[in-house]
Amino acid sequence: MARPNPTGAALASESELAAFLADVERRAWKQAAYAVRDGEAALDIVQEAMMRLAEKYASRPAEELPMLFQRILQNGIRDWFRRAKVRNAWITPAAALLPHREDDDTDPVEALQAQADPNGQGINPADRLQRIQTLEIIEEGLATLPARQREAFLLRYWEELDVAETAAAMGCSEGSVKTHCSRATHALSRWLDSKGITL
């Protein structure tokens, strides 16, 4: 049961918070994986964002959780890039002195595709295969977008945040959100056309 709030909005109950986190976890991981191109780092970013939401904002109304979580998640992704930049400034010169070694070159997009589950129970095998293949192509297309376009597109059309909420999560103007979304939509449309897919 939601807790009372002096402002009039019902605060999220523990079960509502838990349900929200369970519902958003996989989508959030995909967002982070698209951004940082590292599945393990993406998982760390998402888990940290979930913990911060639970620790700092559990007392907020339930309807505020999606926007708050997205803001925390996007800040976490930006922090990861800042830390990576610092790490690279130290590691790259040292690595040049070492023999070249091939590391694991697992593509996060391939990992996403392998884990795709369209929940196609009751769908005939041919249709299910078609859905999986289409999902894979869409995810490949998303991975080709510039970071800010992909971020805006996922927040607006995947997380279903409105323009103002997306702007707040991204730390930019509403006009920038609209521009990024428009460019992302057109780029994805061209990508899908090139693959012979019409949605």
Number of neighbours of residue 17 by Cβ within 10 angstroms: 20
Q: How many domains does the chain divide into?
A: 2
Give yes or no: residues 90 and 134 share one domain: no
Tell me, yes or no, whether 1 lies in a domain.
Answer: no
Give yes or no: residues 93 and 126 share one domain: no
Give yes or no: residues 94 and 126 share one domain: no
- CATH at residue 186: 1.10.10.10
Task: Give me the pLDDT at residue 96, please.
Answer: 39
Tell me, yes or no, whether 157 lies in a domain.
Answer: yes
Task: Give me the pLDDT at residue 38, please.
Answer: 85
| Portion of the chain with pLDDT greater than 90, in percent | 19
Distance, CA of 117 to CA of 114 (rounded, Å): 9
Distance, CA of 70 to CA of 73 (rounded, Å): 5
Give yes or no: residues 150 and 193 share one domain: yes
Task: Give me the pLDDT at residue 8, please.
Answer: 53
Give yes or no: residues 140 and 59 share one domain: no
Give yes or no: residues 149 and 191 share one domain: yes
Question: Which regions in the chain score pLDDT beneath 50?
Answer: 1-4, 6-7, 89-102, 104-121
Task: Give me the pLDDT at residue 108, please.
Answer: 40
Domain of 74 in residue numbering reads as: 8-98
Tell me, yes or no, whether 44 lies in a domain.
Answer: yes
Q: Kindly state the tokens that stand for 51.
A: 């913990």
Tell me, yes or no, whether 174 lies in a domain.
Answer: yes
Distance, CA of 177 to CA of 1 (rounded, Å): 35
Task: Give me the pLDDT at residue 174, please.
Answer: 92
